[in-house]
Amino acid sequence: MPWGVEAHSAPHGMGMNHPPKVTLTHPAHFDDRPMTDFASSLQGQRAPDFSLPAGPDRQLSLSRLRGEPVVLAFYPADWSPVCGDQMSLYQAVMPEFSRYGATVLGISVDGVWCHRAFAEDRGIGFPLLSDFEPKGEVARMYHAYRLPEGVAERALFVLDRDGYVAWSYLSPPNINPGADGILAALEALTHERQAVI
């Protein structure tokens, strides 16, 4: 599936009755704003656009992905045990994501060469984007930057075909959020789209 799509129309109330919304259990902050704002801060809004390195000589822009659902999976670090399990799980369930026509993007503050080694080691075929410089700039835009550690939160976003945030979830950093919430959100988007058509 191509990398780079832009999203589509208004959210139609999407995300109101879907998999668990975030309940924060750790003291992270974004620009001095408690992370308890995470669940509602972007829900139903157009996802902030960005362009990040997807490799040493490749850039990926979110706006180019409009027209298909997009899963943004922010995570703290490539080589941490939980992150490795989480990204490997998403690779394993890629056929399910593909069934919904969804593009999956992993995002952390690691550099492109670290991402490349990690992807090769774990057999990950979807893009791992480097939010390295300015450090965590995109994570901050999504209220998913963890201070004082200086890494991305373990945060998930499902964007609809028009680029609106349909669902989001923030997991404690030491817990793999799995794929069930993502798949339920993608299923809900499919039903919503069929109802409109």
> Of the residues 39, 83, 112, 166, which is catalytic?
83
Q: Which residues pair with 51 in a beta bridge?
A: 61
**Dihedrals φ, ψ of 183, to 5°?**
-65, -40
Identity of the residue numbered 34: P
83 labelled catalytic: yes
What residues contact residue 19 under an 8 Å CB cut-off, 6+ apart? 167, 169, 180, 181, 184, 185
Alpha-carbon span 179 to 191, nearest angstrom = 19
Residue whose structure tokens are 């919904």: 100
By the 8 A CB rule, do 167 and 39 touch?
A: no
By the 8 A CB rule, do 71 and 91 touch?
A: no
Q: Is the dihedral of CA 156, 162, 163, 168 positive or negative?
A: negative
Q: Which residues are catalytic?
A: 83
